[in-house]
Structure 1
């Protein structure tokens, strides 16, 4: 039967209503449904530019990508060989050699920057990224120099970006457990902390090699040097052994200090030290004379830092740092066959009512004697980071996507900056030991240096009683490089 025009119009109106409703329904379906299980829309991803993508940088960006909420869009490295695996893993990412050119050309197209270069080249790209409004994740130690650490700490506050240092142990449950035990009064008042490591596992306390070498064709040596003074390339410096040379690295303290001292900083609310002294291991060039190699970090050291009283302490705190295999006396509360820390590394807190310790990264927190650990009965009061050390990466990605001030991260520059500064003040004492050495004044090398306690003024960023070491607070950048 033929419909009249009014019926046809009504049918059309109903069809359009139904179609519109169906279309609207499709439009409001969540994007993860359209993309399938686990799908994250491109607009919900953090777009990352990575500076330094070999070694630790390689594992860092892999961890960001693993979250499913980050896209590695730009890769930058001065060494094509070191970058090869990351380029293979992220074939769609644009590849660059010089981070300055990358930032100039592509800064409108990424949200955040991951930096995993040698220590001496941390600060400049980090500050440049923040000035562009980019969130930053920087490998430890935050900087090579004390001045750089203060600049980045203040810049993070000024530019209001999400920052995180790559000391993954800051996200471990162990650090939070230590805080809970201390806050519950199980140790009484902590007055002394020991941190120790078996590093260095690279050469230190040696002379700069006399033999020149030709850089491999895959390495841009001038870009690798970056802000450091020019030197001819030498074998075995890249990609690992640079850590033992003051021009590029920060020694065992820089490598492991951020992992081991993070817990004392967090538990006791430490900030800047007021005094520091050091003694270092000797290298003997023959039976009678001690070697003096000021370009290289020493083979071992024992540094004593004094921190002012905080809201968590009743007196000044003494923190001992030991490296090169030096360890503190085993606590009597520790059984004779129990591991001290993790064997080669650890942190020990000593209070007037008890002791506690942890392994590297603040892991495996234990009260002493260890039988107290299970008997403590202290309920968790602090939130945990899902995935702990692995979650350190995802936490930063989530915080960047949420926006500044919306989510906490474990090692923002507000915390990482003072921690790094303290480690670098400790290195000042080690370098001050060299400055005080008789060789520095031409008096020979057959008797030890003076061991002064250096008085540190954190407001002025200077040692007040040995001006010679203040030249290490802020180094001169090589021509063509600057901070800011």
Structure 2
């Protein structure tokens, strides 16, 4: 009894002292009931680029029920207005650098949904402060940047996720299970295609400038890109068709389509790549040449080395601008090929597999063929919509404690492959002394040195020159 009394007295004194000081941390099990979320189970998020897709991202984090939208940042007050209205308590900034400098102690994680040319510098700034990051696809604008963020994720040990929501769908997991069950044998060839671009491409840079809207900070919008005058209709969407800012059809849809073969076959870095590009005619007799603009169509052939899941190298064809592969013989004449505008076709030694964007609606060919296999991979609750909550939960759990669908260790090499395809496209469109020396070449890629070994001119696009004052300083 004496020991028990003394123990109780010590516990009382300890409890009283803590009460006097004020509780700063409350155990989850104490406050976890009745729908109450403990302070340690809420993620304080800052958004960079909060209009358009950024608005959707922020709202999806909020719907998880475990995220506090604490800070918002956008260079365009018009685009940000809706999100700012929805979260009136969130402090608003125009310059992400100022926000991170002043508020980093109050931020757990950062969501980035800006044009492609800003992704890497903004993401790296957050990671260097130890913040978890969610970045819209494509992860980066340049090949070198993709490698930087892949390495930085390992260095800074933060939870990362790229915004290719289809990676959280059931389809990619089902396809993986079918393949590993041997239903189509050893895959050797894959086709991915899209009806993009749906923005102006293959055009000259406009000669007529326009006044910058009062709500837009044009200098901040340019960021790492070369200093140019503002033009009409570039913002908020048509920047996708210009190499200074966007990454074309591959950047827009490649992450959604190539993710399926990457996750199914364990693909990593390209061995070689070649491309052909479509052009437009400015009049009946003259072909246009506008290297600042992404081409209206392309066909890229990528070769990947053998992986643990393949019996040999993989050839992956990418097609955009309405170009599609030949319809497989197993598909009936009136059956839809892919989803009509986009699709994925696996060709194996024992059969073929067809899917839509994000790996949805996967079916064996012919479509009368029905097989069932045991579920091997856990599904993400909420599927594509659950992509956001999955990241929020993983951030709360801490680095290495919970799986996410598109961490940089996966989405980094995936993005690098997509940007290597763009490298081939730009190489095919290089004009020197009125000739195109990069056309009809197979570019050989040294992944360790990060350079094309047989056509040096194209290496200028591996890592672009950043505008003065906007450099990325990181050694890999």
Secondary structure in 1 aligned to 2:429? helix
Partner of 1:397: 392
Aligned to 2:371: 376
Whole-angstrom CA distance in 2 between matches of 1:320 and 1:480: 39
* Matched residues, number: 451
1:270 & 1:153 partners in 2: Cα distance? 15
Looking at structure 2, the residues matched to 70 and 172 of structure 1 have their Cα atoms a distance apart, in angstroms, of 22
Q: Paired residue for 1:472?
A: 461
Asked if structure 1 preserves the Cα contact closer than 8 Å seen for 2:277 and 2:429, the reply is: no
Q: Quote how far apart the aligned CAs of 1:337 are.
A: 1.9
Cα distance in 2 for residues equivalent to 1:164 and 1:70: 16
The structure 1 residue matched to 2:451, chosen from 456, 462, 465, is 462
Give the aligned partner of residue 5 of structure 1.
none
Deviation at 1:449, TM superposition (A): 6.9
Specify the alignment match of 1:325 in structure 2. Answer: 322
403, 406, 409: which is aligned to 1:411?
A: 406
Q: Which one has a bigger Cα radius of gyration?
A: 1
After TM superposition, list the pairs within 5 Å mapping 1:146-295 onto structure 2: 146-295=143-292
What is the TM-score of this pair, normalised by structure 2?
A: 0.92
Matched residue, 2:439 = 450
After superposition, the CA RMSD in angstroms is: 1.8
Partner of 2:133: 136
Residue 414 of structure 2 is aligned to residue 425 of structure 1: no
Deviation of 1:314 (Å): 1.0
Contact 2:428 2:437 survives alignment (8 Å):
no
**CA apart distance, 1:254:** 0.4
Q: Which runs of 5+ in 1 are unaligned?
A: 1-15
Bigger shift: residues 231-240 or 452-461: 452-461
Q: CA deviation at 1:30?
A: 3.7
- The answer on whether the counterparts of 2:96 and 2:122 sit within 8 Å (CA) in structure 1 is yes
* Residue in structure 1 matching 2:115, options 114, 118, 121: 118
Tell me whether 1:31 sits opposite 2:31 in the alignment: yes
Please report how far the alpha carbon of residue 448 of structure 1 lies from its aligned counterpart in structure 2 after TM superposition: 9.9
Render the CA deviation track for 1:235-283: whole Å, top value 9, x for unaligned: 0000000000000000000000000000000111100111111011111
Q: Distance in 2 between matches of 1:104 and 1:131?
A: 12
The CA deviation at 1:40 is 2.1
Instruction: Tell me which residue corresponds to 1:96.
Output: 93
Q: Distance in 1 between matches of 2:53 and 2:86?
A: 15
1:84 aligns with 2:73: no
Query: Normalised by the size of structure 1, how large is the TM-score?
Result: 0.91
Cα distance in 2, alignment partners of residues 296 and 96 from structure 1: 31
Deviations 1:453-475 (A, max 9, x none): 11111111110011001000001
CA contact (8 A) 2:193 2:324 kept: yes
CA positional deviation for 1:286: 2.1
Contact 2:394–2:404 (Cα < 8 Å) also in 1: yes
**1:163-211 per-position Cα deviation (integer Å, ceiling 9, x unaligned):** 0000001001000010001000111110100000000000000000010
Q: Paired residue for 1:441, among 433, 446, 449?
A: 433
Per-residue deviation at 1:293?
0.3
In the alignment, is the contact (CA less than 8 A) between 2:113 and 2:135 conserved in 1?
Answer: yes
Task: Indicate conservation of the 8 Å contact 2:175/2:362, yes or no.
Answer: yes
